[in-house]
Chains A and B, each alone.
Chain A
Amino acid sequence: MKKLKNILYLIGLYFKVNLASAMEYRSSFLMQAFGMALSNATFVFYWWIAFSQIGGRIGGYDFKDVMFIWALTSSAFGASNILFANMFRITTIIVTGELDTFLLQPKDVLISLLCSRTALSTWGDLLYGFVLMALTHGNDGMVWLMFLLGIVIGGLLMTAISVTAHTFTFYFGDASLIGDIALEFIINFCIYPEGIYRGFVRAMMLSVIPASFIVHIPLKLARSFQPGLLLILLAFAALYCFIAYKFFYHGLKKYESGNLIITRM
């Protein structure tokens, strides 16, 4: 419990510094955030056309359901990038020796490295999800509750996937491509109705690339709340993050450092 409290404290500290750093470029911050939200909004139009042409349901989802998974994917991605933007740069941090800075400090190496950067544009992704929810789901309390829970769980799972993929750098060298592919997979699986996936892909979405736990199960819970399913969701997310964390520390023993010139942005 004390460790969790320390981790949350550290995340809060870095968040404040990152936000202050982002505020140094206020107009860039606003433009990037607005641009990202605008780019996401075009997809709503695409789905609106699809549903008005086909009508009824696609893969078992109606228009509002699709908007829920879109909003959740966008906000979870935004939240993970606001807090843990270095999840995309883990390979670079390992290869260039930037990891040294975190190893020299008395706090958790993985949490420190993940939190020490924020992505400005992803504020747009986070806010976009909220706007989309407000437009399509109004003030339905249970739906909002599951949406908020989904942001936390989804954000953590996306980060854990990225950490796991990039950790292979300790073993093989450059794993940035694996990291990029893993995140692309997860996002692509998240933004389509669950019913269109079958067999092996469905199994992947419930295990290695856990898209179902990020959006589809929270939607199920929002439609009809089941305490057992909620417990499974929480237990899976905790286990997945724990494995990613342990895998990183196992890889860290193989760290060889580097001597490139590093600046902290």
Chain B
Amino acid sequence: MELERGKINNLHLTFLIIGFTFGSSVIISPGKGAGQDTWLAILAGLAEGLIFAWIFFTLAVKFPGKNIIQINEVVFGVFTGKVISLLYLWYFFHLGSLVLRNFGDFFTSLIYFQTPLVVIIGLTAILAASAVRNGIEVIARCSLVLVPITIFAFIFDTVFLLPETEITRLLPILELPPKDFLKSSHSAATFPFGETVAFLMITSSLNKNSISSMKKFALGGIIIAAIFFIMAAIRNAAVLGGTAEISLYPSYVAIQLIEVAEILSRLEVAVSFPIFIMGFLKISVLYYSAVVGSAQILGLRSYLPLVLPIGTIMVVLSITQFATAVENIIWATDIYPFYSLPFQLIFPLLALIAAIFKQSKAGAKKAGEAQ
């Protein structure tokens, strides 16, 4: 019995990946620490992230209709596979709680000062829980509506920021020592591009006609999202100059500076809501992956009983994992880029190598039998 009967197509996949990659990166700009070279760091990070993505989407094409849990079992054997799968479940679950926390922090530190964190995170989680209960088809169709809204909002505020931009603020390029630049670009690769590894829980729901061309659409989604990040990074650097580096949320600060004819000003709250719906998409995808993966590993017939328990723990974890915002910053800049590497690169790479090896062995065996 299948856990997920909904089917999505490649267009859904592209939009969902764009929304997922936007996710919390629209508030916390990727490639932090590179100053006016942030856009280059994102570009380099995209190249690295695409290598990760190529590896794990190749894996998905090799095992059509199977998610990462099933793939792990086939490739690594039942026991090792299950251990690795458990690690992945933790990763999706933890990442979901991190994104929840980022949005909670964003709203409590900028707009809702008095509102307890748990209220914002809890309400977001309830929304996501409803999406997860409805299955991947619903989440995917949401993205078809929500992603264009965000892209429109992005273009809207970028156009109105043009009078504030000064292109000389982007100079000189490549000023950072290579080591610092690589640190920034690697951080952009793991957040957000490499996080699309969560889609290994979703590509199994692609309809039959889509599977073979899936890689093109998935990588395309990542590239489209990256183009917007690069535009945002150029915009923020050209508007804020050196002050972008001390801002926790540079895009938000930049949008605050919009003043067109005294009427179009103070737009940042209006822009926060399209930002929020991207967070909803990312949380839903991660939440869904954690829930469906758990049901799979436990051999349940339906994942619905797990939605609320896992969501509740996720909310609790997201609140308790950091006592202060400073811990969150240290985690995001110093630890996360390495913490996420096994999930984004090492396990998928091992799985792919093992799969190719097994295939050629099986092929040789077949050839041997034929003789």
Is chain B a partner of chain A in the same complex? no
